[in-house]
Amino acid sequence: MKPLTITILVILTLVSGAYSQNKDITTSLYGTYNDYRESSLDKRRIKHAQLSPLLKAFSANNKFKVKKVGQSIEGRSISLVSIGTGPVNVFLWSQMHGDEPTATQAIFDILNFFNHHSFQKEKEEILDNLSLHFLPMLNPDGAEVFARRNALGIDINRDALQLQSPEGQLLKRVRDSLKADFGFNLHDQSTYYNAERTAKPATISYLAPAYNYEKEINEVRSNAMKVIVYMNAIIQKYAPGQVGRYNDDFEPRAFGDNIQKWGTSAILIESGGNYDDIEKQEIRKLNYVSILSAIYAIANNSYHTISIDEYEKIPENDRKLFDLKIVNVTYPLLGKKYQLDLGINHSEVDTGRKGNFYYSSKIIDQGDLSTFYGYRTLDATGYTVRDGKVYPRSLDTLEEFNNLNPLEIVKEGYLYVAVKNLPATLKITNLPLNIVTTTYTPAKSFRLNPGKTPNFFLEKDGKLKYAVVNGFLIDLETGDGFFKNALVLKP
């Protein structure tokens, strides 16, 4: 049995006391998720205007209390949604960073759950013992442009001391007014984090932030650790081995660290990457299930029996994932042949339109990448990198280009097609061929370098076997591959 598997089994065994009490609700929550999923929030790039009708509906519902607690720099309202009458206050806030929306979607799924007629016994236990307070989208100005920082250009999560931003002031004011016992600090992290020393993505990562440089553990922080150990056991059931833990070095400016210091058990949750889950909808579901299960464990006090010793056994976050890793490829350069690995990432470029983005890929690193991993990995032993050519015939219009048979053209060794009359705003093509202008001149010598857009072929025994188009790998024999878009390359 592999060490990772043993670790997971140990964790599950040691939290079995709490988990066994709540496993039925966890399984049921996962199985019935689609009954509560907020379908209007189906893309990650959500904006403030999409939340307004949802908040208005909850405001008209006497089960909930919805209160405007402030507004952003650009004047967008920020609201707190509360439900429950219990003495223990649980405060959940999301999208402190505008481009980290996964948990915002999950919050509205959770609110729908509390508005539904099912799970009455469990909901009664939760709402009699807890008062739940949800603050979705703390940074609506950042969300509007899908950016991390607010309109002031600062990272709100480094504003806990100076409180220079209205959003930071608001977060502290709400936390203080609630005297929250538990705080769920909900974020997204890079999809390139992996669970330490494994090829598995850190789909969910946790942290019980330190409240001082000594990283002391008092009851407040210990309670956060216990809840995290419990949540980890839940995620292991649905995404085994895909959990990471952040380094707990004290950051005196951060809200999580200070909220822990102020007496709220702070639980940081970061939504990372998952296989073929571009819009993070499965990760959203994992947020919904694990957060609701944790709320239930807090309500019935079952988390108290969990040992914090298991917290440190959660693998640390590492950042060693590529979208595509090509290993052992032969690279001819200046009359000699070299063997190296390539690490390629597909960077998202926001279009400014609702939910839309495209990919602009880059070579991130090359050389010995044996300590790195890939969401997709190709062993290119025996394959040689070859440059792509420009299609010999220039086309007059984009319509002509779209009528091409792209796979047949690529098989002939072409990766670029010149088009004369292009819309000025055109940036991408959905065909696996890059568009260039008629003045495009290929480089005299083909080079692979970090930072360069990867467009090349992999040849074996004198035959082109694979094409890499804007960083996407395509099997030329079958046409299979994870392809999203090529680029329009203009001088």
Residues 207 and 69 in one domain: yes
Q: Based on the fold, state whether residues 309 and 342 are members of the same structural domain.
A: no
Q: Are 137 and 186 in contact (CB under 8 A)?
A: no
Q: Are 214 and 128 in a shared domain?
A: yes
Rounded Cα–Cα distance for residues 235 and 94 (Å): 20
Same domain, residue pair 410 and 335: yes
pLDDT, one tens digit for every residue, the chain (491 residues): 444 444 444 444 545 556 566 767 999 999 999 999 999 999 999 999 999 999 999 999 999 999 999 999 999 999 999 999 999 999 999 999 999 999 999 999 999 999 999 999 999 999 999 999 999 999 999 999 999 999 999 999 999 999 999 999 999 999 999 999 999 999 999 999 999 999 999 999 999 999 999 999 999 999 999 999 999 999 999 999 999 999 999 999 999 999 999 999 999 999 999 999 999 999 999 999 999 999 999 999 999 999 999 999 999 999 999 999 999 999 999 999 999 999 999 999 998 777 789 999 999 999 999 999 999 999 999 999 999 999 999 999 999 999 999 999 999 999 999 999 898 899 999 999 999 998 888 777 899 999 999 999 999 999 999 999 999 999 999 999 999 999 999 87
In angstroms, the CA 131 to CA 92 distance is 11
Instruction: Answer with the one of 260, 289, 318 that is the final residue of a domain.
Output: 318
Average pLDDT of the chain is 94
Q: With contact defined as beta carbons under 8 Å apart, do 170 and 282 qualify?
A: no
3-class SS at 359?
A: strand
The residues pairing with 81 across neighbouring beta strands, listed in sequence order, are: 66, 134
Distance separating alpha carbons of residues 343 and 322, to the nearest angstrom: 6
Phi–psi pair at 24, nearest 5 degrees: -65, -45
Element (H or E) spanning 16, and its range?
A: helix 16-31
176 and 224 co-located in one domain: yes
Q: What is the pLDDT of residue 21?
A: 62
Number of domains in the chain: 2
298 and 414 within one domain:
no
Q: Are residues 348 and 312 in the same domain?
A: no
CA 277, CA 281: separation in Å to the nearest integer? 7
Same domain, 311 and 334: no
Which domain does 308 fall in, by range? 3-318
Q: What is the pLDDT of residue 3?
A: 46
Same domain, 292 and 417: no
Q: Quick check: helix, strand or coil at residue 169?
A: helix
Does residue 137 sit in the same domain as residue 285? yes
Identify the residue whose tokens are 């990198």. 385
Q: Tokens 């509007």 belong to which residue?
A: 144
Final residue belonging to a domain, choices 318, 334, 364? 318
In the block, residue with structure tokens 């010995």: 368
CATH number of 57's domain: 3.40.630.10
